[in-house]
Amino acid sequence: MQKRRLGRNGPEVSAIGLGCMGMSDFYAGGDEAESIATIRHALDCGVTFLDTADMYGLGENEKLVGLAIAKRRDEVFLATKFGNVRAPDGAFLGVDGRPDYVRRCCEASLKRLGVETIDLYYQHRVDPKTPIEETVGAMTSLVKAGKVRYLGLSEAAPATLRKACAVHPIAALQTEYSLWSREPEGEILAACRELGVGFVAYSPLGRGFLTGRFKSTDDVPQDDYRRHTPRFQGENFDKNLALLRELEAFAREKRCTPAQLALAWVLAQGEDIVPIPGTKRRKYFDENVGALSIALSADEIARIGEALPAGAAAGTRYIEPAMNALNL
């Protein structure tokens, strides 16, 4: 398995990770047995970078991951997150970065995961009411206590990232990045490289859209979160489908799937970028890992990027309340 380093002085991880969110929440068609089998299959294949969060399934995803890795902890680089607060019915209640909350969340995640140490602990969203220095200070105390090895932030602006790095080294910034979400190519990636912070790309397949699986809005299940997101609705869906056709045409040229080409493009944007495509099925995992064997020339990278240019995707990444929670 190919490896990449998270940041200038951070840990070495598998070049592709496995996002576990959809195994327990948001996306329809969950199957716990197949999800556990997928995680264990990933470890067998050398993909050891697993990503979860306390909000996924209201903690159930951490329990599932913990069950899957119970006898294989030493093989895993385990990342989880805190900060997004949800009600028992799943409603989003806001973001909390207060030091006491950070410590309580860490203890709860350790228990659900069944581990003594979290390898990479992210603040899932930045709390606008709590100075980032206070939040990272509390996270630093977790490192000193041996409960956490490395620290990360998710969807943090460059200015926030700089303030955080002044308190403690930040190993990784996790932000959405794909051929239809190219916002990091501006100041965000530049700041990461300046500060020596690794970049973890979540939703590198555009929440599954770039796989080509969805040909109409009817293909999105009624109980699936994506049905309610702007890019999967109405005219936006149709416009984005036209972009997908461009990707599919390139994939036919390369004799690979659109998903593999989309991941290969993200991987080609820099050795400091680690995508974490999510899946809950072994067959899709194997397809995703196949992207590592696809070599793209500079001309091909440019052509793909021009066919799906920055800002071309129709619709915002999230609904308005979730967009407002981003630290932009």
Which residues does the annotation mark as catalytic? Answer: 56
Residues in contact with 249: Cβ distance below 8 Å, sequence separation at least 6, in sequence order: none
d(CA 263, CA 294): 9
- 3-class DSSP string for the chain: CCEEECCCCCCEEECCCEECHHHCCCCCCCCHHHHHHHHHHHHHCCCCEEECCCCHHHHHHHHHHHHHHCCCHHHCEEEEEECEEECCCCCEEEECCCHHHHHHHHHHHHHHHCCCCEEEEEECCCCCCCCHHHHHHHHHHHHHCCCEEEEEEECCCHHHHHHHHHHCCCCEEEEECECCECHHHCHHHHHHHHHCCEEEEECCCCCCHHHCCCCCHHHCCCCCHHHHCHHHCHHHHHHHHHHHHHHHHHHHHHCCCHHHHHHHHHHCCCCCEEECCECCCHHHHHHHHHHHHCCCCHHHHHHHHHHCCCCCCCCCCCCHHHHHCCCC
How many Cβ atoms sit within 10 Å of the Cβ of residue 283?
10
**C-alpha 126, offset from chain centre:** 16
